Amino acid sequence: MSAYTNSRELILEILLQITRDGEYSHIALKNALDQYQYLDKKERAFITRAVNGTLERMIELDYILDQFSKVKVGKMKPVIRTILRSGVYQMKYMDSVPNSAVCNESVKLAVKKGFTNLRGFVNGVLRNISRNLEDIRYPSEEDKVYHLSVRYSLPEWLLKQWLAQYDEASARRMAEEFLKEKPVTVRFNPERISKKELIQMLEAEDVCVKEDETFPCALHLSGYDHLSGLLSFRQGYYQVQDISSMQVAEWAEVQKDDYVIDVCAAPGGKALHMAECLKGSGHVEARDLTEYKVGLIRENIMRSGLTNIEALRWDALQPDERVIGKADIVIADLPCSGLGVLGKKPDLRYKMTREAQKELAALQRDILAVVSGYVKPGGKLLYSTCTVNREENEENAGWIQEHCEGFRLIREKQTLPGRDAGDGFYLAMFRKEGS
């Protein structure tokens, strides 16, 4: 069995876990690559790109398949549909793989999975598309929403929402940005290692490093296999964190001995950043709902070597009477629709619905009603999401001022992919009246 066949079988299984079984893409991909750590760097990169790319372009891929297949995508068996989607993606967007190899290996995979009777169907559809890749007919731009939906593989309801909340140029920029491959952004602790030393260490580990122009402690990494394989990561010199969320600690302007509560903290980037800013003083409580999420925070705390931070399992909807009116700073980075990070979690564009958005906006208000009570007079509440939906962002910031007594909005910011650096991210900072 060839390496390509092994890789494609794994790609198929990962995609089925996501599209058929409902697993989140980043979890399914991580679990598979952790299980097959013996795969070489090039093969792991191929698997990652094929999985994420197929998900990113799935609406476009289905549109193409429907032009060349008598059996429409919605009527296909899940295994065959997934083989064809991945095959079309590889032919159209992965130049390193010959189209003939894609067709042949896709047929072999269909046979191996028990669909010998459909080998001719798979072969015929993919070879027909291969011959006509340059002549694909796309929807007319006169039907703006449908055209954008197919071109950028975004659901029509979402594009309608963006076009209602933002101008067309912003919507297009976001859509384009989510399809671009990007490096991983990390924040390093200058108290533990200098930028120069860390860059030298990373380059010695064959990592491509780019400094960030805005945040001195941010670096953009690419070209590595997996982070856990890097000694620099295991030694806790840096944490994965987007530059947009680094603003939380910057805005907070934490003071010596401050008591900070991060109510939905996993995996802990913002809480760790606050603990670093405290330089050994004060105390940070990083909370989350499940043992799994708290475990992720604890892993990052252990790597960091910080001693003024702890992880605690707590349901943010349940009031904690012990801390009412005691926190200098409360960070409320709450569960949201995640539409600002579609480039990192491409399956969210298909999982999220308008109804789910409304439920999340209501959940955010329920949590805010509880955790705002932890802020002491004169203290700060930082509310943030990784989405670009105004109902979850600006409208909820207005709700805080109306329903959480004593809070005054100090500043707010919405970053948009393609317009601003970093993820789509909303941040609002409030101060509680009193002293």
Which residues are designated catalytic? 386
**Three-state secondary structure readout of the chain:** CCHHHHHHHHHHHHHHHHHCCCCCHHHHHHHHHHHCCCCCHHHHHHHHHHHHHHHHCHHHHHHHHHHHCCCCHHHCCHHHHHHHHHHHHHHHHCCCCCHHHHHHHHHHHHHHCCCHHHHHHHHHHHHHHHHCHHHCCCCCCCCHHHHHHHHHCCCHHHHHHHHHHCCHHHHHHHHHHCCCCCCEEEEECCCCCCHHHHHHHHHHCCCEEEECCCCCCEEEEECCCCHHHCHHHHCCCEEECCHHHHHHHHHHCCCCCCEEEECCCCCCHHHHHHHHHCCCCCEEEEEECCHHHHHHHHHHHHHHCCCCEEEEECCCCCCCHHHCCCEEEEEEECCCCCCCCCCCCCCHHHHCCHHHHHHHHHHHHHHHHHHHHHEEEEEEEEEEECCCCCCCCHHHHHHHHHHCCCEEEEEEEEECECCECCCCEEEEEEEECCC
